Amino acid sequence: MKRPKVKARTVSRPVAFVQSQKSTGTGKQQERGSAKIIEYGKGNKLPDEIIKVFLASPTARRCWLKLKKFIQADGFSERAAAAVRANPRQTTDDLLPYICWDAAVFGFALRVKYNLSLKVAEVYHVPFHTVRKLDDGRFLVNPNLGTDKEKREDDEILDAFDDSEEAVKRCLTQVGPKGNKQPGQLLYSFEESSVHPHYPEPAAWSAKPDIESDTEIQRADYNAIRKRVKPNVGVFIPGEYDEDNLDEDGKSEMDYLEDEVRTLTDPEGEGDAVLFTGAGKEDAPQLITIDGMKATLSMDAKSETIRKRICMAFGLHPSLIGMDTTGQLGNTQQLLNIIQLTQQEVLDVQGLIQRAFKKLWPDFDWTLTSLNIIKAVPEQIWQIMTEEEKRNFGGYSPLEKEQTPEGEKVLNALNSLSPLVATKVLESMTKEQILALVGLVAEEEPTTQTEAAQANATNTGRFQKIRAAIAKHLPGAAAK
């Protein structure tokens, strides 16, 4: 007797996830208007793909943010430069975070406008991924460039930055695509190379497989946890159901059966139901369950290796994004060395920003500070620092009472003596010498006998207090 067929289908809801396609810079030119646009990667969409992949990965996003912080640091070292008005709504200090975010991965772009005196009047940040080069030296800017919302009417053509008198005058006479006056020039800056002469391709992009794996591991962890709560099920329904003949709604018996079983899955599509049909229960297959959590937990060691490789691609040590590597988070000197190496890593990018601002406002010093996450001074250096240097290092305000270097040397010498000897030295000092130790000046000599008596009484108590205050800070004073 011929056994009836056993049919099996997986019934699940579709999961909204699209794998990004591999893309590399090609430098191919594409016709657009009277000039040709130089494509930025396959389909002219490489920067948008890079941003999408980087931001989807927790590790890559964290590395990007950390690089941005190292580049920006505490801003411009000269406060007057930081307060320069870049445009009606922003100072240069306000503009800097946007520039550093782009520069950490790509480069940066600025729209420059001029006044009638042919001087820089306004500067605006332009998102780097919205700019493309034209083969005639100009630039195309479109806020939706490389996306499905891109429209030709949103294109804006800008001249490259040129502060010569002729170029500035030409800029003042130009009109934008929507009738707005003076679209401005574009200052476009990145680290050029013979491999990438037109557009930058971040070094971290070489770790694209690892970055996408980091994203998928996070997704797999989430799905495994969800399915552990709402597990997959196997459903066997006796009978044979037609899947060839369709009714007026275009559905077969099997389709209706699948709709019924689909109610067993959760709305988010995290649980699946496997539907089996057959002539009888004896035709039902044996179900063998597989615990997905074991496979997920086994990826923990591998995921840490992946995260470390991503950090390496970004030029960062894993400890800088919070990954503890054999106690390095507790080793101050080792962290200091790592921070200094990272500061060296971002010097070139900081240089690009400083040179750009120097072109726009040459009268200011645009030096960027270095990021100091922790402060540490070797013990031997700390011992020879003055009290004022120590207070300055700790971020405290200077002492109100001024003290001469000579007075400080005397106090330091007294501190090195035994309490008995130091006390004898203080008793042998004149009133003027004691006053000088604490930054005070002797009062003028009294003119009358009464004034002399009053001054003597006042000063006696005053000197006693000063001697007592100094002696209190001498070695062994507490024991005494």
Domain limits, the chain: 29-204, 211-297, 381-472
**Model confidence band, residue 284 (pLDDT cutoffs 50, 70, 90):** low
Per-chain mean pLDDT for the chain = 76
| Spatial CA neighbour of 470 closest among 421, 437, 428 | 437
At residue 94, does pLDDT exceed 90?
yes
**Model confidence band, residue 234 (pLDDT cutoffs 50, 70, 90):** low
Position 288 scores a pLDDT of 53
- Inter-helix orientation angle 449-472/419-428, to 10°: 160
Q: Comparing 382 with 316, which gets the higher pLDDT?
A: 316
Q: What pLDDT, in 10s, does the model give residues 109-119?
A: 999 999 999 99
Position 253 scores a pLDDT of 81
Residue type, 189: S
At residue 430, does pLDDT exceed 70?
yes
Phi, psi of 37 (to 5 degrees): -90, 135
pTM of the model: 0.61
Q: How many CA atoms lie within 13 A of 127 on its CB side?
A: 10
In angstroms, rounded to a whole number, what is the distance separating the alpha carbons of residues 103 and 128?
9
Greatest C-alpha distance within the chain: 140
At residue 21, does pLDDT exceed 50?
no
Q: What pLDDT, in 10s, does the model give residues 322-368?
A: 766 555 545 666 777 788 888 888 999 999 999 999 999 999 999 99
> Residues 37, 29: contact at Cβ < 8 Å?
yes
Which alpha helices (DSSP H) does 243-329 contain, by range? 253-262, 292-297, 300-314
**What region, left, alpha or beta, does residue 113 occupy, with left being phi > 0 and alpha being psi -120 to 50 degrees?**
beta
Position 16 scores a pLDDT of 34
Q: What is the mean pLDDT of residues 13-35?
A: 41
**Model confidence band, residue 309 (pLDDT cutoffs 50, 70, 90):** very high
In angstroms, rounded to a whole number, what is the distance separating the alpha carbons of residues 341 and 345?
6
Position 174 scores a pLDDT of 86
Position 440 scores a pLDDT of 61
Phi, psi of 125 (to 5 degrees): -80, 135
Which alpha helices (DSSP H) does 147-291 contain, by range? 165-172, 208-229, 253-262
Position 82 scores a pLDDT of 94
Strand, helix or coil at 94?
A: helix
| Spatial CA neighbour of 40 closest among 276, 198, 259, 236 | 198
| Spatial CA neighbour of 162 closest among 128, 181, 183, 187 | 187
Helix (H), strand (E) at residue 63 = helix 58-72
Strand 233-238's sheet: what is its strand order?
7-11, 273-278, 233-238
In angstroms, rounded to a whole number, what is the distance separating the alpha carbons of residues 328 and 320?
10
Lowest-pLDDT range of 7-16, 28-37, 346-355, 436-445: 7-16
CA distances from 68 to 52, 60, 130, 203 (A): 17, 12, 19, 15
Number of neighbours of residue 277 by Cβ within 10 angstroms = 23
Lowest-pLDDT range of 154-168, 184-198, 209-223: 209-223
